[in-house]
Amino acid sequence: MVDEIAADPSHPRYASLLMRHRLEIAAKKGMLADSALIAHGRGEAFDYLLGERTTSSAMAATRQALACLQRGKKPLLSINGNVAALACDEMLKLAEILRCPIEVNIFYRTERRMEAILAHINERKRVLGLDVTVLGEHPDARIPGLKGPRASCEKRGILDCDVILVPLEDGDRCEALVAMGKTVIVIDLNPLSRSSKKASITVVDELSRVLTNMIAIAEEEGVLAPSPTYDHDKILAQALASMMGNFTEG
């Protein structure tokens, strides 16, 4: 049933059903954390309030994020279970455009999940014929200030990068990365989350929409210049106002 609906682009809930279907497939492959669907459901609820569209403040944040990634000395894209399930191809395409590595870095870390996620990414990389370095298999460093397996990372990847994109990130790790002096770019539909507040730049928009926008902008406009007047708190307040506006409009 879901297969049929997810395969029919004329269905009014096509985009949403497709994302759920991708999560179902990823769950069967052992890629997801037990709480992955809870996290997705929370994201869906915020996306409803947003009107399932990219707002002008989200687009401003997307452009600022892209500019910082393009101008970084060592940019890096971090990928977790949900991100690999929902937008693996887009992450790979963006990494190829930026000529930067991707690192698998998961919150609920197990060897089995790491293997399943890395296998999925490497398979999609092969199918798409992209030349992207995929890190995470051989962690040799730790993110300072974090305890447990979620601190594991690669020195040539997350430890040494200067600009990092961490979609759907947890608050602790976001704070730890900021404390390392990195420019931390979060994609999170919840403008009130700790990650959203603590990041250097937060895009309050749905993951696959953000990545599609970034790829299109990079292809059409080339390298962007960051705005010197970019205001993180103002962008978050505008995201929240967009949700409240939709709500009061009924």
If one asks whether residue 188 binds ligand PTJ (CB under 6 A), the answer comes out as yes
- 17 membership: H or E segment, kind and range: helix 14-28
Parallel, antiparallel, or unpaired: how do β-strands 134-135 and 201-203 relate? unpaired
Pick between residue 101 and residue 136 the one whose CB is nearest to ligand PTJ.
136
Pick between residue 98 and residue 107 the one whose CB is nearest to ligand PTJ.
107
- Whether 130 and 101 have beta carbons less than 8 Å apart is answered as no
83-112 mask for ligand PTJ (x: CB under 6 A)? ---x-------------------xxx----
If one asks whether residue 35 binds ligand PTJ (CB under 6 A), the answer comes out as yes
If one asks whether residue 206 binds ligand PTJ (CB under 6 A), the answer comes out as yes
Q: Residue from 22, 43, 55, 91 that binds ligand PTJ (CB under 6 A)?
A: 43
What CA–CA distance (Å, rounded) separates 2 from 14? 10
Q: How far is CA 142 from the centre of its chain?
A: 21
Pick between residue 86 and residue 121 the one whose CB is nearest to ligand PTJ.
86
If one asks whether residue 78 binds ligand PTJ (CB under 6 A), the answer comes out as no
If one asks whether residue 198 binds ligand PTJ (CB under 6 A), the answer comes out as no
Quote the strand ranges of the chain, DSSP E: 75-79, 102-104, 134-135, 141-142, 152-153, 163-167, 183-187, 201-203
Cα→Cα distances 166→58, 78, 158, 222, Å: 16, 5, 10, 22
Stretch that binds ligand PTJ, among 39-47, 49-57, 67-75, 154-162 (CB under 6 A): 39-47
If one asks whether residue 40 binds ligand PTJ (CB under 6 A), the answer comes out as yes
Find the shortest distance in angstroms from Cβ 73 to ligand PTJ. 26
What CA–CA distance (Å, rounded) separates 75 from 95? 9
Pick between residue 170 and residue 175 the one whose CB is nearest to ligand PTJ.
170
DSSP 13: T
122-151 mask for ligand PTJ (x: CB under 6 A)? ------------------------------
What CA–CA distance (Å, rounded) separates 85 from 146? 25
If one asks whether residue 170 binds ligand PTJ (CB under 6 A), the answer comes out as yes
- Whether 141 and 52 have beta carbons less than 8 Å apart is answered as no
Pick between residue 175 and residue 188 the one whose CB is nearest to ligand PTJ.
188
Pick between residue 71 and residue 171 the one whose CB is nearest to ligand PTJ.
171
What CA–CA distance (Å, rounded) separates 76 from 157? 7
- Whether 132 and 95 have beta carbons less than 8 Å apart is answered as yes
Which residues lie near ligand PTJ (CB under 6 A)?
A: 33, 35-36, 39-40, 42-43, 46, 80-82, 86, 106-108, 168, 170, 187-190, 193, 206-207
